[in-house]
Amino acid sequence: MKRIAWLLGFVTVAACSKETPRPTDVPVEAEAGPVASSSPPASPSVPPSADPVPAASASTAPLASTAAHVASSPGTSTRLLDAGQAPRQKLRYTWRVDRKEQLVMDLRTAASTEFAGAKQPEIPLPPVHIVLDLDPQSVTPSGDLRFAWRVTSATVTSDAQTPSQIADGMRAEVSAIEHLAGTAAVTARGLSGGVTVDGATTVDAGATGQMAEQIRQTLRDVAVPMPDEEVGRGARWQKTAQLDAKGSRLTQTDTFTLVDLAATTGAVDDVLAQTAPPQALRAPGMAGGTEARMESMLASGDGKTRFDLSRLVPQTRFTGTTTMVVSGPSAGDSTRRVTMIMRVGIDIEGKPR
């Protein structure tokens, strides 16, 4: 499915840009191309009169040079809110090693900022198209699926109206994940058992690493998570997760409603919310002795998903908005506060191979 945790990581970098751009510019250091989740989009502009918040380097390698394990947070839980109408059944996936799939993801993003009461125009960012091949490796007796994944295609679509800085930054993000590969696991209930990235496939293309983070978030949450109990049409359940997105803590809650169910297929509506407490932004490469802070963060979104219990990748349409207030040292002893707003649309489609 979709997720927008990558937005938190991207905005961290955007807020820490060392450049002070013109009103219509986007600093190259902050450009990205998902999670949410999505190539992390280019950063919104900051008024030229504002002193820059301390910088985060975009040259930081997007992933560790060795395989990285991204396990499900121990704080993840599911809770049934309403069992729905009879007849009811336990929803479980029936994975098969002979069913290879392809995950196709399209990302659309727009960003804007507000500073000292002045709101900058929203910047639409170039759409990103990503294709991954998923190859099942094994199914355990308990029904867990282990599969290999690899990015087979990643492209950015820009036109003459797209500022060159934005287009170049997005392409840098895409080039960093063009050959990314690894393995992952998912339970019979659709809960992630962890995602690994093959360090030999990582590339430092001067990117922020947010596109790679979006790939991992998407794979971690690719299947609709099912409740443990029997459910029927109209059932509602909630998944809550304590996440660590690029070093920043947040809580994500998804409330699912089963709107359709027929044999092994069905549809759910997903209402997503993310919140985070005030905290320091631990962006890679920040200068010593300087600190940017996230004063508040609120993200919300709505998704509509059609699932097939015999397939890993559902058909998902998601839209969401993230609003974050970031502060940092300014000239003298003053503090600068910037409100950053991002709108994202993520479409995911699964195809048999």
DSSP secondary structure letters along 52-109: PPPP--TTS-SS-SS-EEEPPPTT-EEEEEE--SSS-B-------TT--EEEEEEEEE
**How confident is the model at residue 135, as a pLDDT?**
98
Please say whether the dihedral angle defined by the alpha carbons of residues 76, 350, 303 and 293, taken in this order, is positive or negative: positive
Q: Which residues of the chain have pLDDT under 70?
A: 1-74, 204-208, 245-247, 282-290, 331-334
Burial environment of residue 102 by CB neighbours within 10 A (0 to 12, 13 to 18, 19 or more): middle
**How confident is the model at residue 21, as a pLDDT?**
34
**How confident is the model at residue 30, as a pLDDT?**
29
Give tens-digit pLDDT for 36-50: 333 333 333 333 333
- Domain range annotation of the chain: 5-72+96-223+294-300+308-352
Q: How far apart are CA 20 and CA 229, in angstroms?
A: 53
